[in-house]
Amino acid sequence: MSVTIRHIAHASHDYAMAVNLRRAVLRTPLGLDFTSAQLAAETTDTHLAAFEGEDLVATVVLSPYDDTTLKLRQMAVDDSQRGAGIGRHLLAAAEAFAKTQGKTRIILAARVTAQAFYTANGYVAEGEVFEEVTIPHITMCKTL
Ligand SMILES: CC(C)(COP(=O)(O)OP(=O)(O)OC[C@H]1O[C@@H](n2cnc3c(N)ncnc32)[C@H](O)[C@@H]1OP(=O)(O)O)[C@@H](O)C(=O)NCCC(=O)NCCS
Domain boundaries, the chain: 4-143
- Out of 1.10.1070.11, 2.40.50.140, 2.30.40.10, 3.40.630.30, the CATH code matching 4-143 is 3.40.630.30
Positions in the chain short of pLDDT 50: none
- Contact 110 CB / ligand 1 (< 6 Å): yes
In the prediction, which pLDDT does 2 show? 86
C-alpha 137: how far from its chain's center? 14
Q: Kindly list the strands in the beta sheet with 105-111, ordered across the sheet, starting from the edge strand earlier in the chain.
A: 4-8, 46-52, 55-64, 69-77, 105-111, 135-143, 124-132
**Residue to mutate, 25, 117, 137, ligand 1, most ligand atoms under 8 Å from C-beta:** 117
In the prediction, which pLDDT does 1 show? 54
What DSSP string runs through 47-97? EEEEEETTEEEEEEEEEE-SSSEEEEEEEEE-GGGTTSSHHHHHHHHHHHH
In the prediction, which pLDDT does 67 show? 97
In the prediction, which pLDDT does 97 show? 98
- Contact 75 CB / ligand 1 (< 6 Å): yes
